[in-house]
């Protein structure tokens, strides 16, 4: 009893003594904002994290979100391109394409916005020069504009929160209702203006921080997006409470105002004469193809065109990316088990112009009768064009250099290997063996359906491990040519071009045409831009400024830069393009009916594809957490 009583006494003494401050202890592993912001190096550290969180749709952006480069980021390499008409996955059509969860960004958006608000609020109190304060405010506004742009693209009008919220015990006070879509886009452009006003043209040390030009570029892109939503709403109108309250939907009368904002922001960049197209006058299409490929292989060599780079300096989890392992053709995978995931479609390849027929898309003609409408597959009674086994790619020789710089064509060389893409062969009796692993001996030679005996020696059509292209095209844009692939996660360190001059020119041209803008010579500027982009791709014949020409140019020039997805959304073309849509392939077959054997090509649907439909409600994503945040949900969710 005595022991118990003593214990009780000591315990209560201790408790009473330390009772007071136990909940007020400061954590030893965190800094409070005062300490962090009081040191300029602390501010830079914080800012670096804000840039990390900025929703730049780059090499680590996939259907499951941003910054997918930690641990084992196994998402089959399903990038936005695979959910558009640019490409199909070697195994998946896009999982649950455009599932409402795809490309979502809500919680992370508001986390970034809060972090930026904290910085913007702290800047006036910092012990730094006025000029430095100006730059920080500019960067904060740039990041905030970027963040709200990412939210508005996905959700329409969203709650506009411009200062960090404090929790005073009342949850209801924290709930901010959605602003209208118009208010949201106006805020995005306004913030971009603040950034433009405060940011320097460059940083002395060459640091990759937002500049005035990056802010103009952001404004050009965002304004074009808003203008398109206003102009094309009626192509797929929606109804419901969110529409009635104007939380989604921009009135057509707003379009020209936003187009003008795009034009002015673009012209600020164009008139500064600071930027130019990289290697704008190539001597030949071959040179142009190589220049185009190099631009993306190392943007640091093309600083005349590049406006804003997001760098990947170190390989490793959280700092590298995975484009080289996901997308190299099977033959150059160097032991990595999941290559070959990005398969450019025949639809995309058809879009590129031919040098001898400028101003139009040039679909690949595989038969002597010149027709391209039949996608039913091999027909023994058709007269196919034939190509030597040494250069089957002769079929594409007249096509735009950017095709050659973006796509690996069958039989071309990549990383010193001849890339063999073959779907099968046609036996001397006229029957075909397609997409089945077989071999045959004919006239003393052995032929294999996929072009070589072992799966490590070819890169097309075999379903082996999902490593082969099923469209007949490989992918090379952004990939490193010289080094062997490092067969491990997160090893790529290619830098991403967030904004480049060619996009600004294309934004400008589209805005000028869509708004019938004729002031200060804009149309002739736009026509010059259109043709300078083509001249960089070795075209020698100029084409007129028409909407078709500008949109085709945009599709080709910006292919795989994560633009197509949003272009289809903002112009309300997604639901028209994707209504039970199938994607198509170009299948090379070795024709053994002739001696020596020659290649023929067959246009047909991609095997194991799924018809895809984009329902109109997917133009806006569902807002998560409606039960607790009390917001009005988007239509039909």
Partner 1 sequence: MKYLKFGLMALTMVASGILSSCELDNYDGPDATLQGSFIDGETQELVQQDIIRGTMVKIIEHGYDPVAPQYIRAQPEGTYVDKMLFPNTYTIQPERGNFVQVEPQEIVIKGETTLDFVVTPYIRVKEASIAKVGDKILATFKLQQNVPNNVGRIGLYVHPEPIVGEPIRTIASEMAINAVVDPEQTFTLEIDVPSNSSRLEAGKQYFFRIGALIDVPEAKFNYAPSVRLGI
State the sign of the Cα–Cα–Cα–Cα dihedral 195, 500, 299, 477: positive
Shorter beta-carbon distance to partner 1: residue 256 or 374? 374
Please name which of 328, 276, 281 lies closest in space to residue 303, comparing C-alpha atoms: 276
Q: How far apart are CA 603 and CA 568, in angstroms?
A: 25
Q: How far apart are CA 468 and CA 339, in angstroms?
A: 8
Please name which of 575, 624, 584 lies closest in space to residue 98, comparing C-alpha atoms: 575
Shorter beta-carbon distance to partner 1: residue 96 or 239? 239
User: Half-sphere exposure of residue 425, counting CA atoms within 13 Å on the CB side?
Assistant: 24
76 Rama class: left (phi>0) / alpha (psi -120 to 50) / beta:
left
Shorter beta-carbon distance to partner 1: residue 33 or 617? 617
Shorter beta-carbon distance to partner 1: residue 301 or 608? 608
Q: Is 616 in the site for partner 1 (CB under 8 A)?
A: yes
Minimum CB separation of residue 236 from partner 1 in Å reads 9
Q: Which residues, at least 6 apart from 44, have a Cβ–Cβ distance to it below 8 Å?
A: none
Shorter beta-carbon distance to partner 1: residue 319 or 582? 582
Residues 183-242 binding partner 1 (CB under 8 A) are 234, 237-239
Q: Is 581 in the site for partner 1 (CB under 8 A)?
A: no
Site string for partner 1, 361-400 (x = CB under 8 A): -------------xxxx-----------------------
Query: In 262-361, which ranges are E strands?
Result: 306-310, 342-344
Q: Rounded to the nearest 5 degrees, what angle is found at the Cα of 362, between the Cα atoms of 357 and 364? A: 130
- Of residues 165, 548, 613, 625, which one binds partner 1 by CB under 8 A? 613
Residue range at the interface with partner 1 (CB under 8 A); choices 297-305, 419-427, 473-481, 613-621: 613-621
Minimum CB separation of residue 75 from partner 1 in Å reads 28
Q: Is 605 in the site for partner 1 (CB under 8 A)?
A: yes
Q: Is 615 in the site for partner 1 (CB under 8 A)?
A: yes
Shorter beta-carbon distance to partner 1: residue 544 or 611? 611
Please name which of 108, 502, 97, 54 lies closest in space to residue 310, comparing C-alpha atoms: 54
Minimum CB separation of residue 629 from partner 1 in Å reads 11
Q: Is 625 in the site for partner 1 (CB under 8 A)?
A: no
Q: Are 222 and 258 in contact (CB under 8 A)?
A: no
Reading the block at residue 323, the tokens are 């484009």
Specify the DSSP element, H or E, that contains 448. Answer: strand 445-448
Q: Is 311 in the site for partner 1 (CB under 8 A)?
A: no
Cis peptide before 358 (omega within 30 of 0): no
Q: How far apart are CA 183 and CA 190, in angstroms?
A: 10
Minimum CB separation of residue 613 from partner 1 in Å reads 7
Shorter beta-carbon distance to partner 1: residue 237 or 316? 237
User: Half-sphere exposure of residue 142, counting CA atoms within 13 Å on the CB side?
Assistant: 29
Helices 130-155 and 212-232 sit at what angle, rounded to 10 degrees?
A: 20
Q: Is 350 in the site for partner 1 (CB under 8 A)?
A: no
Q: Residue 62: is it exposed, middle or buried by C-beta count within 10 angstroms (0-12/13-18/19+)?
A: buried
Q: Please count the residues of this chain forming the interface with partner 1, following the rule CB under 8 A.
A: 16
- Of residues 604, 612, 614, 634, which one binds partner 1 by CB under 8 A? 604
Q: Are 469 and 459 in contact (CB under 8 A)?
A: yes
Q: How far apart are CA 543 and CA 530, in angstroms?
A: 8
- Of residues 580, 595, 596, 628, which one binds partner 1 by CB under 8 A? 580
Residue range at the interface with partner 1 (CB under 8 A); choices 22-30, 179-187, 278-286, 612-620: 612-620
Q: Is 630 in the site for partner 1 (CB under 8 A)?
A: yes
Shorter beta-carbon distance to partner 1: residue 71 or 615? 615
Minimum CB separation of residue 122 from partner 1 in Å reads 37
Minimum CB separation of residue 376 from partner 1 in Å reads 4
Query: What's the DSSP call for residue 32?
Result: -
Site string for partner 1, 238-267 (x = CB under 8 A): xx----------------------------
Minimum CB separation of residue 377 from partner 1 in Å reads 5
Residue range at the interface with partner 1 (CB under 8 A); choices 8-16, 130-138, 412-420, 610-618: 610-618
Shorter beta-carbon distance to partner 1: residue 287 or 605? 605
Shorter beta-carbon distance to partner 1: residue 357 or 579? 579
Please name which of 255, 164, 271 lies closest in space to residue 213, comparing C-alpha atoms: 271
Minimum CB separation of residue 472 from partner 1 in Å reads 16
Q: Is 435 in the site for partner 1 (CB under 8 A)?
A: no
Minimum CB separation of residue 628 from partner 1 in Å reads 11
Calculate the dihedral angle through the C-alpha atoms of 113, 115, 117, 120, rounding to the nearest 10 degrees.
Answer: -130
Shorter beta-carbon distance to partner 1: residue 260 or 365? 365
Shorter beta-carbon distance to partner 1: residue 51 or 637? 637
Q: List, as one string, the DSSP characters of 371-431.
A: -----B---TTS-B--B-SS-GGGGGTTB-HHHHHHEE-TT-EETTEE-----EEE-TTS-
Residue range at the interface with partner 1 (CB under 8 A); choices 98-106, 141-149, 394-402, 608-616: 608-616
Given the rule CB under 8 A, which residues bind partner 1?
A: 234, 237-239, 374-377, 580, 604-605, 613, 615-616, 626, 630
């Amino acid at each position: 009893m005595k022991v118990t009583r003593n214990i009780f006494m000591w315990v209560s003494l201790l408790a009473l003594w330390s009772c007071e401050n136990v909940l007020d202890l400061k954590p030893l592993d965190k800094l409070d904002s005062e300490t962090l912001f009081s040191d300029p190096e602390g501010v830079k550290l914080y800012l670096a994290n804000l840039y990390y969180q900025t929703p730049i749709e780059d090499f680590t952006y996939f259907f499951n979100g941003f910054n997918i480069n930690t641990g084992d980021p196994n998402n089959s390499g399903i990038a936005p391109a695979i959910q558009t008409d640019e490409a199909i996955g070697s195994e998946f059509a896009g999982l649950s394409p455009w599932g409402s969860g795809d490309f979502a960004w809500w919680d992370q958006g508001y986390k970034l916005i809060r972090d930026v608000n904290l910085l913007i609020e702290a800047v006036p109190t910092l012990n730094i020069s006025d000029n430095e304060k100006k730059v920080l405010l500019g960067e904060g506004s740039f990041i905030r504009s970027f963040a709200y742009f990412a939210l508005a693209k996905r959700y329409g009008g969203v709650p506009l929160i411009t200062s960090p919220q404090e929790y005073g015990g009342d949850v209801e006070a924290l709930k901010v209702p959605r602003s209208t879509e118009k208010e949201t886009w106006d805020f995005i452009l306004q913030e971009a203006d603040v950034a433009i006003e405060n940011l320097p043209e460059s940083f002395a040390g060459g640091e990759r921080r937002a500049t005035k030009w990056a802010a103009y570029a952001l404004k050009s892109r965002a304004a074009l997006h808003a203008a398109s939503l206003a102009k094309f709403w009626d192509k797929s109108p929606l109804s419901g409470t969110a529409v009635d309250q104007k939380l989604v939907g921009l009135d057509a009368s707003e379009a020209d105002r936003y187009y003008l904002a795009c034009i002015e922001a673009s012209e600020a960049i164009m008139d500064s004469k600071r930027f130019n197209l990289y290697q704008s006058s190539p001597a030949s299409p071959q040179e142009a193809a190589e220049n185009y490929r190099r631009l993306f292989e190392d943007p640091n060599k093309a600083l005349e065109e590049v406006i804003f780079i997001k760098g990947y300096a170190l390989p490793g989890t959280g700092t590298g990316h995975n484009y080289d392992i996901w997308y190299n053709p099977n033959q150059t995978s160097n032991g990595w088990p999941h290559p070959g995931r990005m398969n450019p479609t025949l639809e995309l390849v058809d879009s590129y112009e031919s040098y001898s027929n400028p101003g139009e898309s040039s679909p690949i003609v595989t038969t002597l009768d010149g027709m391209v409408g039949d996608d039913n597959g091999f027909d023994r009674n058709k007269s196919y064009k034939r190509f030597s086994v040494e250069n089957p790619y002769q079929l594409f020789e007249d096509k735009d250099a950017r095709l050659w710089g973006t796509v690996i064509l069958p039989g071309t060389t990549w990383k010193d290997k001849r890339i063999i893409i073959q779907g099968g062969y046609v036996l001397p009796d006229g029957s075909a063996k397609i997409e089945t692993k077989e071999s045959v001996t004919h006239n003393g030679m052995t032929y294999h359906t996929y072009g070589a005996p072992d799966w490590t020696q070819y890169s097309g059509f075999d379903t082996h491990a999902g490593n082969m292209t099923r469209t007949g095209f490989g992918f090379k844009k952004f990939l490193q040519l010289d080094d062997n692939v490092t067969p491990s996660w997160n090893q790529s360190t290619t830098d991403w071009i967030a904004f480049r001059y060619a996009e600004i020119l294309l934004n400008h041209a589209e805005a000028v045409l869509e708004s019938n803008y004729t002031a200060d010579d804009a149309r002739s500027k736009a026509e010059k831009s259109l043709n300078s982009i083509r001249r960089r791709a070795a075209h020698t014949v100029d084409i007129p400024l028409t909407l078709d020409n500008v949109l085709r140019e945009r599709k080709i020039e910006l292919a795989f830069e994560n633009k197509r997805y949003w272009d289809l959304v903002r112009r309300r073309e997604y639901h028209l393009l994707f209504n039970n849509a199938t994607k198509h392939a170009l299948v090379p077959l070795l024709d053994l009916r002739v001696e020596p054997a020659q290649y023929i090509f067959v246009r047909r649907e991609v095997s194991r594809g799924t018809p895809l439909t984009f329902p109109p409600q997917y133009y806006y994503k569902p807002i998560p957490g409606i039960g607790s945040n009390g917001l009005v949900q988007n239509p039909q969710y």
